[in-house]
Structure 1
Amino acid sequence: MSNKPLGTSARQALVALMTHVSEASNPELYEQFRVRIEKNVRQELQDAGFIVWRKGMRGTIIHELTEKGWERARRELSAAPPERVSSAWLLHYGTLMHLNRLLTAHNLQLADLYIGPPATLDIDGQPAPAEEERAAGEPDGIEARVRNVYLRLADAPGDLVSLARLRGSLEDLARDDLDRVLRAMDRRREIHLEPDPNRKALTQAARDAAVVIGGEDKHLITIDQS
């Protein structure tokens, strides 16, 4: 089914998820790009194997590109724009075509453009430690402590827990060390960090406890049951 032409809304959703880089909810996509992935579009992309999704806090649906979805999104860089779209989308697709020529000329992949070399940079463009450096910086097993504290605070595996509560149980850790570990675990999809969709109701403690990833505050953590 992946060879079936995608509708305009599905193509826009692919570009939005590609540009967002990490998994995203509809409120996040709408806030950044004025794009929503409606049920029929979600089904179209899921049937084609381009996305996976799960339910987050208060039933919010979280979307993420699959490897196949990233491959399909790559084709949007050289595709003609959808029919009957606004001038903003025409300009966007013109930019994508220029980027495609640059990637081709330098033999680069889409990940080099949107994510960067995983061995040297994290999602915020900061130097990522090598595995041996990461291990050396965690003599007390910070990752294991994060998992243990999460399981103690969550009513059930997969529930959302506020980072404020998590930090409150790990007060002996330096903030930079904990943030580094949380970003690394999220990047490896061992945990999921999410923004609270009801940001107006956030306490100052919840705001202060947030981890910034890709320029966005993440207030909640969940760990799926494996």
Structure 2
Amino acid sequence: MPADLSTPARQALIALMVRAERVSNPDLRRDYRMEITKSAREELSAAKLIVFEKGPRNAIFHELTDLGWARARQEFRSPPPEKVAGAWLLHYATLRHLAGYLDRTDQQAADVFAEPDRGPAPAEGSVEQRLREAYHDLAGNPGDLVPLAAVRQRLAGVDRAEQDRILKDLDRRREIHLDPDPARGELTREAHDAAILIGGEAKHLITIGRA
């Protein structure tokens, strides 16, 4: 059984396999409550199991190599790392069952983790879900610019501070884009009041679905 990697490195391999796409630490923290530490990143990179690079806002993005996928597959039959929480013991028990299924059906791990995992959907009725629904009701097409003032009108009754927290978090995760209106001199008082400050700049427009 392979035991050549540290516990954080082994957990990082599993996270990247489950995610099945290039992913940053902010996304891993949001969806799985974990992150790839510098030491684990360097360990995996030195073993040629992952590649990584800096992306927007200096976030570090990680992705498995073909060798990394093969090494992650070995975890299915490996004993759990020592001194981990009970949830990880259950996780490795699940992997053992999955290993048996893959062996019986002559399939690869990539057949199972073929689609990227986008994390859990927003909770029904949550502020995030309401915000997304408001945007899509107002936008003609995904990626269209929509006035933030119009979206806030759809969030009547939601505390302004909570709205701002959700907007900033989604923008940081790059799930939305917040932009300043180039025609600032023509903005209404409502548009100015609805703006959100990010990096010292007022943002008046929201986009969801832009590449």
Length-normalised TM-score, structure 1: 0.55
Q: Work out the CA distance in 2 between the residues paired with 1:75 and 1:199.
A: 33
The CA deviation at 1:197 is: 2.6
Aligned ranges 1:154-169 → 2 under 5 Å: 164=143
Deviations 1:15-54 (A, max 9, x none): 0000001111001111111111111110000000000001
Could you tell me whether the CA contact under 8 Å between 2:25 and 2:36 is conserved in 1? yes
Who is 1:46 aligned against?
A: 45
Deviations 1:59-87 (A, max 9, x none): 00000000000000000111110000001
Structure 2 CA distance for partners of 1:90 and 1:104, relative to 1, 3 Å: same
Q: Does 1:68 align with 2:67?
A: yes
Q: Work out the CA distance in 2 between the residues paired with 1:200 and 1:92.
A: 28
Could you tell me whether the CA contact under 8 Å between 2:77 and 2:99 is conserved in 1? yes
User: Structure 1 residue runs of 4+, over 3 Å off?
Assistant: 198-205
The CA deviation at 1:196 is: 4.9
Listed as ranges, the gaps of 5+ residues in structure 1 are 116-121, 125-162, 169-194, 211-218, 221-226
SS in structure 1 of the partner of residue 87 of structure 2: helix
- Please provide the CA RMSD for this pair: 2.6
SS in structure 2 of the partner of residue 63 of structure 1: strand
Aligned ranges 1:1-226 → 2 under 5 Å: 5-115=4-114, 164=143, 196-198=171-173, 202-203=177-178, 205-207=206-208, 210=209, 219-220=210-211
The CA deviation at 1:205 is: 3.6
Listed as ranges, the gaps of 5+ residues in structure 2 are 118-141, 146-169, 179-204
SS in structure 2 of the partner of residue 77 of structure 1: helix
Who is 2:131 aligned against?
A: none
Q: Work out the CA distance in 1 between the residues paired with 2:16 and 2:49.
A: 11
How many residue pairs were aligned?
136
Structure 2 CA distance for partners of 1:123 and 1:60, relative to 1, 3 Å: closer
The CA deviation at 1:202 is: 3.9
Who is 1:152 aligned against?
A: none
Q: Structure 1 stretch 28-37 or stretch 67-76: which is displaced more? A: 28-37
Structure 2 CA distance for partners of 1:199 and 1:78, relative to 1, 3 Å: same
Q: Work out the CA distance in 2 between the residues paired with 1:200 and 1:98.
A: 34
SS in structure 2 of the partner of residue 108 of structure 1: coil
Greater length-normalized contact order (CA 8 Å, ≥ 6 residues apart): 2
Q: Which amino acid aligns with 2:38?
A: K
Q: Work out the CA distance in 2 between the residues paired with 1:62 and 1:200.
A: 15
